[in-house]
Amino acid sequence: MDPIDNPRARTAAVRALEAEFGELISRFRRVLSENANRVSPGMLPGAYKVLTTIARKEQVTLSHLADCLMADKGQISRAVRELEALQLVTRTPDPEDGRSSLISPTAFGLERLSVARAPQEGALLKALDAWSLADIENLSRMLHALSAGETP
């Protein structure tokens, strides 16, 4: 019987995958927490995630930021105010919508992010050093399919 047709084997494999994701998520949360603390002592991981998203997008509205992070606009607004108070981001009027602002990282914010990320810089490269390029590309393809709800 093909493993794809064996419901017990499939359930066991999915449970094992779920456990591995749990470990990966726990490790990722630790990294986020450590990085947040390096940006600014006491910064919560959620605010750090908001900052990294703003830095990645370069310029973003509050609404788009909330959509990207699948979070409540009020929660994101509080995090942005915290980041502004720390001079890590700035708001400018949105030229396309006078009721809205564009949020951008400051040079200081980008510098703090760089400092915060330095200890983990290259960790993924190092962890995957012995992997073949094909295996890395396959993992990337499979994770994309999983997160998009597609069949690889």
The verdict on 108 and 92 lying in the same domain is: yes
| Parent domain of 44 | 3-119
**Which CATH number belongs to the domain containing residue 89 in this structure?**
1.10.10.10
**C-beta separation of 99 from 137 below 8 A:** no
pLDDT the model gives residue 94: 86
126 Cβ contact partners less than 8 Å away, ≥ 6 residues apart: none
pLDDT the model gives residue 122: 78
d(CA 109, CA 39): 8
* Number of domains, the chain: 2
Report the predicted TM-score, pTM, of the whole model to 2 decimal places.
0.76
Is residue 82 very low, low, confident or very high in pLDDT (cuts 50, 70, 90)?
A: very high
**What's the rounded mean pLDDT across residues 114-140?**
90
The verdict on 81 and 97 lying in the same domain is: yes
pLDDT the model gives residue 5: 74
The verdict on 128 and 95 lying in the same domain is: no
